[in-house]
Amino acid sequence: MTAESGKGNTLHYFSGRSMRIWRDARGLTVALVTLGALLWAVTSGQAASPSQACAPAPSTSGTGYWTPFGDSQWTGTGLLTASRADPSAAYGVTCGGASVYGQALPTTSAGAINALSFDFNPSLSGASGSSPRLVVCFSDGAVCNGNGNLAPTQWVAGSWTHVDGLSSSNWTNSGGSCGNRYSQTWSQIIACHPGATVTQVAVVNDSGSLYGSGEQVLLNNLTVNNLVAHATPPILGVRATVIAAAGTVRVRRPGSHRFLRIKTLSSVPYGTVINAGSGTVRVIAARVRNGTQSGEFYAGSFSMHQNRQGVVQAGLSGRPTGCDVKSAARIARAPSSVKLWGHVKGHFQTRGAFGSASVRGTIWLTENRCDGTYFHVVEGTLWIRDFTRHRSVILRRGQSYLAPSALPRHKDGDGDYDHDA
């Protein structure tokens, strides 16, 4: 995709949700109070101010590396967000986006930031300073009330626009020693917060203040220094897009002997081994036809592949230990299994040593144990293939099944199901 620079300097951004100012051809200054500001002022009983920034508090369950919030969701072409007018929402609109914070920030010194930008592709055209925007939060303001805001002056539906924070003079400021300022450069924003550190950087879509029926915006190339979230479209059978949805996720690409932690949205080839034992990984894969499918895996490691029919297979990595212990009493204590949880929407499959499970929209557990491969369904339906018995079984919510490591000596019966939840 090719980014296009936004053009035009006739508009000056006032705040995320309060007022937009522009000069017409006669030099007259006109102020528009947005719907979001009116709704916020009515519901909160406070006057609108530039401190209203729809940037979230850091998520306790997020990684800090461009963690999505609101209704945002990573897709194969970027972060998909939507916003609409909503009097019940905090600022009169719904909002979504992604933020980077905490140890994930490449620097907490505003003066050390040497790259600060994002690209966006909206569903509707506009000319304002209150739609997709960049928010930098400083430590001298509570809940991101001391911040710098940068929004584009205009955009075209279906077209990518590039917003560069370091070259723009359309920043606005709230808090700090300068108070409320407009038409600022990034250097001027920094000067307004002497001694303060950067606590969070967010890219936000809150365009419900402009379009009551809502606007959908795709965000991509979210950049702070060397921390870039870039969505590369997945290719059927070739590569997938992955991101650490929570905790720590490491990947080992084909041909490599090292596991590397993924910090932002990453493109990996099939054949990659993913370690999500201490985190949750979101996998975005191509469908046979247009579009993508996605799923989350956690509490285990797996190798990832995709066949020509578009089914993504997560093959459990590792072997259970202690299976060679002969004492029955010690067997109960010693063995450890290899597990993997999945929660997907699309055509996915988990594969254990003695069986596989195919799904389309399910939450389920796959576990390699000493006595076989165990499956349990929390939600949805599993299509099990038992490699040992050479048969297929359908499992539904609350059901479990063990594909044994060896055939029992007695006649095979129907005692394979465990119906406890």
Please give the Cα distance from 399 to 416 (Å, whole number): 10
Looking at 60-209, list the stretches that DSSP marks H as alpha helix, in order from N- to C-terminal side.
186-191
Closest CA to 289 of 211, 236, 336: 236
Please give the Cα distance from 223 to 163 (Å, whole number): 10
Per residue of the chain (421 residues), what is the pLDDT tens digit? 333 333 332 222 223 333 332 222 323 222 322 323 322 322 222 223 344 457 778 888 888 999 999 989 999 999 999 999 998 887 788 889 999 999 999 999 999 999 999 999 999 998 866 679 999 999 998 878 889 999 998 999 999 999 999 999 999 999 999 999 999 999 999 999 999 999 999 999 988 888 888 899 999 999 999 999 999 999 999 999 999 988 999 999 999 999 999 989 999 999 999 999 999 999 999 999 888 999 999 999 999 999 999 999 999 998 888 887 665 555 555 567 899 999 999 999 999 999 999 998 899 999 999 999 999 999 999 999 999 999 999 999 999 999 999 887 655 444 444 433 3
Residue 24's region, left for phi above 0, alpha for psi from -120 to 50, else beta, is beta
CB 296 within 8 A of CB 282: yes
| C-alpha distances out from residue 41 to 35, 132, 146, Å | 10, 22, 19
| C-alpha distances out from residue 294 to 163, 373, 402, Å | 28, 24, 27
pTM: 0.78
Residue 132 CA from chain centroid, whole number: 17
Please give the Cα distance from 377 to 282 (Å, whole number): 20
Please give the Cα distance from 420 to 402 (Å, whole number): 14
Please give the Cα distance from 415 to 411 (Å, whole number): 11
